[in-house]
Amino acid sequence: MPNLWKETKKYEREYLVQKSEELGVTPFYAILLLNRGIDSKEKVKNFFLPSLTDLHDPFLMKDMDLAVNRIDQALNSNHKIWIYGDYDVDGTTSVALMFSFLRQFFTELEYYIPDRETEGYGLSNKAVELAIKQKVDLIITLDCGIRSVDLVKKGQQNGVDFIICDHHEVGSTTPNAIAVLDAKQDDCNYPFNELSACGVGFKLVQALCSFWGHPEEMAYDCLDMVAVSIASDLVPITGENRTLAHFGLQKLATNPTQGLKKIMDLFMKDRVIDITNVVFMIGPRINAAGRLASAKSAVKLLLADSDFDAGKFANDLNKYNVERRALDSTITDEALQLIREDQEYDNKKTTLVYQPHWHKGVVGIVASRLMEHHYKPTIVLTKSGDKIVGSARSIETFDIHDALTHCSEYLEQFGGHKFAAGMSLKPENLDAFRLAFETQASSLTEDDLTRKLLYETELKLSAVKEKLYENLQKFGPFGPNNMRPVFRSNNVFDTGGLRTMGAGSKHLKLNIVSSNSDKAIGATAFGFGHLYQSLKKGKRFDVLYTIEENNYKGNSTLELMVKDILVRD
């Protein structure tokens, strides 16, 4: 089914002219600002000139005072502390951030990352029992714990206190911990509830600096890790996240921690330090450790003090990532084959595929890949021990976490948010769960199952110039809820530079214009190789694209990164 193109919002001309005058910009830039909720001069100032003074008081977060007091008590009593985190980028950056800060004050301090294969996501029974055995006084969880009611109770009853730092959806019951830091709690009045888990950890560090009388710059020392978590966990780049990402990217570019510097030296030498390159170059390598080996390697990289150690861990992570990419490709192909063999698939509203031999570490990536091919709520499952485990990804109009809540009678464990989740179940419940999940999606319409591609406004190709690109860059950092602007140009054609590229000729390179008098502009269209013959015949087409800068051998040129093509009859 072809994608549906939609203008983000239509504005009456009179209103647009009025807002342009109010904001002091042209109608074109007024559209971009209004689409982002920037509708006053004050908001324009805050948007283009973010400041660390914009950050909220950490003590506005529910239980922050309790968390700080308990950590202060631990300092005064020389308590033994564990920093416990998930094995993905957000979890490992959270652990590294908290550990690097607290090790300046504590000697009895360790970190614990659960094994994906033997323990699974979140706080594990194995870890709690070990903590009890080793007489740990306090566990600070990051990126997990909000649903670990029974395990927190077990630990508390055996002398282990908990501080929960999480950003996932809260269940019907909150763990009875010393403090629960999660702005998604109904009774939490913190002004922003879309922080990454590393962002929550940063707020705790901020609060501790304030409480202990240390300069706030101590907290800012770890903003590069916060930026990596924000980018990789795909949280909205709005509000406080935008400020944290802005200054975190600056630190990445000028004074990164040793481990992150080594990754960038190896793989990003000539690349701009922006959200996109963090997502595609840094994030996958940190993630690969937890997917294929132990996420402790990622934490060791982030905590490395020497160039030698950082280099070793960076190379290890890159090897894991190469292996991860091969697994990802193989399993995606197998999953797509299962879908092709399912004669009822076209009548289904969901995708659910299962093979016991698939690698547990990449099923989440595969679920995302399947969503690119078939725009349906998607679950990819595999076998782990005596359980079936998996990851879910969802479409814009379907809350996957809510759906799993309604299927929970068939699940052993689940957690996540609206667009992504993880779960485990007993093999004997698979068929019932499959049916229940499909039932939850039964009300989805054809419109729901059609991918919507939003664009800001129509643009003449002749307007694509360096000054426009420079101005658009000021709208960054880009990411969810503040995506790089997408434009539409109609009735364009290739000037004759059309060629295919990549394995299997899957991609296109073009030189396009909207009239014979225009100067051609280069364009790259990933995944559109199937249109080669049509476009080669000189057919005109409409195109959606972002404007990018291509740096090659010291030369910079503007090019279009194509999002979709609609060939005209």
In DSSP notation, 304-318 reads --SHHHHHHHHHHHH
What is the average pLDDT score of the chain?
Answer: 94
How would residue 119 be classed by pLDDT, with cut points 50, 70 and 90?
Answer: confident
Is residue 466 in a domain? yes
| Tokens coding 170 | 């809260």
Residue 466 sits in the same domain as residue 419:
no
Separation CA 316–CA 289 (nearest Å): 8
Global pTM reads: 0.91
With residue 493 as reference, give the H or E element that holds it: strand 487-494
Is residue 102 in a domain? yes
Q: What is the mean pLDDT of residues 507-512?
A: 95
143: left (phi over 0), alpha (psi -120 to 50) or beta: left
Q: In what order do the strands lie in the sheet with 387-393?
A: 351-354, 378-384, 387-393, 420-425, 413-416
pLDDT-above-90 percentage for the chain: 87
Residue 398 sits in the same domain as residue 459:
no
Q: What is the mean pLDDT of residues 427-449?
A: 97
CATH number at residue 158: 3.90.1640.30
Is residue 285 in a domain? no
CATH number at residue 417: 3.10.310.30
Task: Assess whether the previous peptide bond of 377 is cis (omega < 30° from 0).
Answer: no
Pair 392, 377: CB distance under 8 Å:
yes
Q: Which of 237, 255, 273 is the last residue of a domain?
A: 255
Residue 386, CA atoms < 13 Å, CB-side half-sphere = 1
Q: Which residue has the higher pLDDT, 269 or 137?
A: 137
147-174 residues labelled b (16+ CB within 10 A) or e (exposed): bbbebbebbbeeebbbbbbbbbbbeeeb
Only one residue has tokens 């995606």, namely 332
- Measured over the CA atoms of residue 229, residue 235, residue 239 and residue 245, the dihedral's sign is positive
Q: Using one digit for the tens of pLDDT, what is the confidence trace for 278-326?
A: 999 999 999 988 888 888 999 999 999 888 999 999 999 999 999 999 9
- Using a 10 angstrom Cβ sphere, with 0-12 exposed, 13-18 middle and 19 or more buried, the burial of residue 560 is buried
Residue 554 sits in the same domain as residue 474:
yes
Which amino acid does the sequence have at 212? W
Separation CA 532–CA 540 (nearest Å): 12
Separation CA 116–CA 118 (nearest Å): 6
Residue 383 sits in the same domain as residue 489:
no
**CA distances in angstroms from 229 to 236, 282, 482, listed in the order given:** 12, 10, 17
Residue 434 sits in the same domain as residue 475:
no
Domain that holds residue 370: 349-440
Is residue 499 in a domain? yes
Q: Which of 440, 469, 495 is the last residue of a domain?
A: 440
pLDDT of residue 517: 66
Residue 518 has pLDDT above 80, yes or no: no
Residue 418 sits in the same domain as residue 457:
no
Residue 550 has pLDDT above 90, yes or no: no
Is residue 287 in a domain? no
| Tokens coding 457 | 């406004």
Residue 425 sits in the same domain as residue 466:
no
Only one residue has tokens 């959806």, namely 169
pLDDT of residue 515: 79
- Using a 10 angstrom Cβ sphere, with 0-12 exposed, 13-18 middle and 19 or more buried, the burial of residue 402 is middle
Is residue 518 in a domain? yes
pLDDT of residue 66: 98
- Using a 10 angstrom Cβ sphere, with 0-12 exposed, 13-18 middle and 19 or more buried, the burial of residue 278 is buried
Q: Using one digit for the tens of pLDDT, what is the confidence trace for 21-62?
A: 999 999 999 999 999 999 999 999 999 999 999 999 999 999
Residue 435 sits in the same domain as residue 514:
no
Separation CA 127–CA 144 (nearest Å): 13
The structural domain count of the chain equals 3
How would residue 258 be classed by pLDDT, with cut points 50, 70 and 90?
Answer: very high
Residue 109 sits in the same domain as residue 167:
yes
CATH number at residue 549: 2.40.50.460
Is residue 7 in a domain? no
DSSP string of 78-139, one letter each residue: T--EEEEE-SSHHHHHHHHHHHHHHTTT-SSEEEE---TTTT-SSS-HHHHHHHHHTT--EE
Residue 456 sits in the same domain as residue 435:
no
- Using a 10 angstrom Cβ sphere, with 0-12 exposed, 13-18 middle and 19 or more buried, the burial of residue 183 is buried
Q: Which of 255, 283, 316 is the last residue of a domain?
A: 255
- Cα 483 from chain centroid (whole Å): 13
336-358 residues labelled b (16+ CB within 10 A) or e (exposed): beebeeeeeeeebbbbbbbeeeb
**∠ at Cα 182 (119, 50), nearest 5°?**
120
Q: What is the mean pLDDT of residues 434-454?
A: 96
Is residue 117 in a domain? yes
Residue 202 sits in the same domain as residue 236:
yes
Residue 218 sits in the same domain as residue 198:
yes
